[in-house]
Structure formats: structure tokens, C-alpha cells
Structure 1
Amino acid sequence: MNTSPTTPTTDDTEEKKAADGTATAPDVTKKAGPAEDAVPAGVAPGVTPSDVTAMDVAATDAAAEDGLEADLEPDPYDEAEAAAASGVGTGAAAVVAAGLGVISLSGAWTGRVAAERETLMGQIKTSGGGSAAQQISEIYGDAWHSTALVNGIFALLALLVGVFVLVRPSFGTPSLHPQAGWVRSVAVAGIALGVLGLLISVGMYFDLFVALPSAAG
């Protein structure tokens, strides 16, 4: 009777290797997953890759905020230039106020021109005849009133400019726009001269100080 050879099974092979002492230990090394490989070296144990990503995002946002705050901070050099320009402007305005006040008291060439014009017009009106009172009013009175009006305008301008110089620091930050003492003094002088010139001009215009001469009988 023919018998076919039997093929050894895997279990028989393993048993034979174990009996001979040649069996190898199974590979129990655990391979690290992709999540564990993503954690950088030097990170504290227990920190997950999502925590590392969140920390990176927070650090980036903090750096961006620091850069934005640095850009928003004013430049000291620009502030110094603005303060210097403001000081020059207010000083010049104070001098202008004082000059306008002096002109309102001493008279300007524009006032003389206006007075001469009124005198000429009065002579033309009374050339064909007129009473003495009319000639005084047309030739002398109108010229006087024109001069007072022009001087009053200069006095009002001096008053307005001087007040503007004094209240100018209140529109901004006083520490960034300091005002020198001489600027305030000149502005106050311009205001005083403007008030005085305005009072004199009003008195002259309405004949409060010196009345027009009256015609005889």
C-alpha cells in the first residue's frame, strides 16, 4: 500500500524549533504613531501636538500685537517737531495781535485813505451849494467816522487774535504744545491794546468824546 508523505504544519514546525531551542521571541516593539512623532524634543511629558500648535499660535498673536502697539506709539521726534511748529505759530500770532492793537490806536493808512475819500465825496455833494451844517457833516463828520470805523476793525482783530493765542493750548495736549511765558505776555498786551482801541473807536464813531462843530447861528 502506497503512503504519501505528510507535509509538516506550522504548529509542528514551531514545536520543533521550540524543542531544538532555535525559536525566536516575537517582536513586541511598539512603533510610534504619527501623533507621537509630531511632538518636538524638549516638550514636557503629557503635552499633545494640539497643545504645541495652540502655544505657537498664541506666541504668533502676541508678537503681532507687540508690533502693532509699537507702530501705534507716537514718535518722540515727530512730537518735538509739532511742539516747535506750534510754538512758532502762537508766538507769531501774539506779535500780530500786539501790532494790530498799536495800529488801532495810532491809525493806519487805510483809515486815512477812507477819510480822504469821504472828504472828496462831501466836497462833491456840497459843491453846488449847501448849508454850513451839511458841509460839516459831509466833509468833516463822515471822514472822522470812516477813520474810527477802520481803527475799530483793527482793534477787533487784535482782540480776537490775542484771545485765540491764550486759549490755543486748551484745544490740544498742553504737555505736547507748551506755551512760552513771553507769548502769553505779548498776547495779553495785544488784547489790552485791542480793547482800548475798540473803546476809542466806538466813542469817535458815535461822537461820544468830541462832538462835531456846530454851524454859527
Structure 2
Amino acid sequence: MRRMNTTPSTATTDDTEEKETAGGPAAVPDVTKKAAPEEDAVPDGVAPGVTASDVTEMVVAATDAAAEDGIETELEPDPYAEAEAAAAAGAGTGAAAVVAAGLGIVSLTGAWTGRVAAERETLIGQIKTSGGGSAAQQISEIYGDAWHSTALVNGLFALLALIIGVFVLVRPAFGAPSERPQAGWVRSVARAGVALGVLGVLISVAMYFDLIVSLPSAAG
């Protein structure tokens, strides 16, 4: 019976030793070295061959072109500027409300313009009746026309008070969002101006058409 040879082949061992002697130990990759970062990384969707510097130049060129065309970039609103605008709008509406109330008071108490108009009508009536005229004509020309002129002027003041007061009250509904908040005293004064204006208009109309007090008659 033939005996099997279990000893490793010396040829294989010799070949391995020769390889180790000739080339040294097998090269081991150096994991401590980091891969160099890719230069000029290009965003996704950009055509190949275009570097990041090219993309930056294109963005800068587009921004410059937009600026030359007058296209302004959106900026965050300045809170201080908005506060100043709101304060200016509040001051304007407050002043208008005070003016409305003042005009309403003038329409009820009378103004120097009404007195001037009345004196003018009185003078015209005296000139017309200086050559003679009936008592009724003298009453109408000298007294009635002056009365009606005063009522007309006071009615104009009352109408202005009414218009300005209504404008102050309805302005927040049509103004900018920053102008919509309105102080309580402004609305109160504006309502007072509207009320005085309405009252002044009614009284002036009644006085102009002799509904409250009629002109005296010549017979009386």
C-alpha cells in the first residue's frame, strides 16, 4: 500500500518566501489619510463642466442686471419706520378730529365771517331802500337777508365739521394696516364733531327757511 505525502510543498513555501523577500510585506492602505475635498463643488442640476466659481459669477451678474433694471430686492420692514408712520398718521387723524369738533362749535355759536356777511347784506338793503320802499321790503332787505346770510355761513361751517368728522371715522377702514389702530380719544372727538355738525346743519337750514323763527311782518 502506497503512503500519502502530507508535507506541504516546499515549492509553494519557497515561492511565498521569495515574494515576501522581493516585495516586502503586502501594502496596507493608510486609513489615517483623509480624502482631499473636492474643489469647486457644483450644485445639483448644473451642467457638467461648470465649476462653483462659474455659478457664483453667473449669480453676481444676474443680481447686477436686476439692479440696473430697477428691480429692488425685498428687504425686511424697519419697525422704527413703521412706528414713525403710525405716529404721524395718528397725529394727523387726531388733529382732524379736533378741527371737526371746533368747526361744529363755531357753526352753533357763529363766526366773524357770518357777522361780516350779515353786515354786508344790511348795507345793501339800506342802499336799496334808501329811495323809499314799503315796510315789508325794508324788513326783507335789511333784516331778512342778513339773517339768511348768517344762517348760510354757519351751515357751511357745520357741513365742513360733518365731512371731516366722518372722514376721520371711516379712514382706518381704507388705510394701511399700520394706520388702522386708532386712539379712543380720536374717535370720541370725531364723533363729537359729527354730532355738532349735524346739529349745526339742521339749525342753519331751519333758520334759513324761517322754520324756527319767522321774519316779523309789517302789520305787527
State TM-score, norm by structure 1.
Answer: 0.71
Corresponding residue for 1:101?
Answer: 104
- Asked whether 1:207 is paired with 2:188, we answer no
Select 1:192's aligned residue among 188, 195, 198: 195
State the match for 2:168 in structure 1.
165
Residue matched to 1:77: 80
1:43 aligns to 2:46 (yes or no): no
How far the C-alpha of 1:79 sits from its partner, in A, is: 1.0
Runs of 4 or more above 3 Å deviation: 46-49, 51-65, 174-177
Q: Mind listing any 5+ residue stretches in structure 1 that lack a counterpart?
A: 1-40
Question: What is the count of residue pairs matched by the alignment?
Answer: 174
Post-superposition CA distance 1:116-160 (Å, at most 9, x none) = 111111111111111010011001100000000000000000001
Name structure 2 gaps, 5 residues minimum.
1-35, 43-47, 67-71
The answer on 1:135 being equivalent to 2:130 is no
Cα drift, residue 113 of structure 1:
1.0
CA distance in 1, matches of 2:121, 2:180: 47
What's the CA shift string for 1:52-109, capped at 9, x where partnerless?
45654687699999x9233xx3222111111111111100000000000000001111
Letter in 2 for 1:166: L
Q: % of aligned pairs identical?
A: 75
SS at match of 2:74: helix
What is the letter of the counterpart of residue 104 of structure 1?
S
- Counterpart of 2:185 in structure 1 is 182
Cα displacement (A) at 1:51: 5.6
* Normalised TM-score (structure 2): 0.70
1:176 and 1:142 map into 2 onto residues whose CA distance is: 46
Once superposed, what is the RMSD of the aligned Cα atoms?
2.8
Give, in whole Å, the separation in 1 of the partners of 2:183 and 2:177.
11
Distance 2:216 2:63 in 1: 86
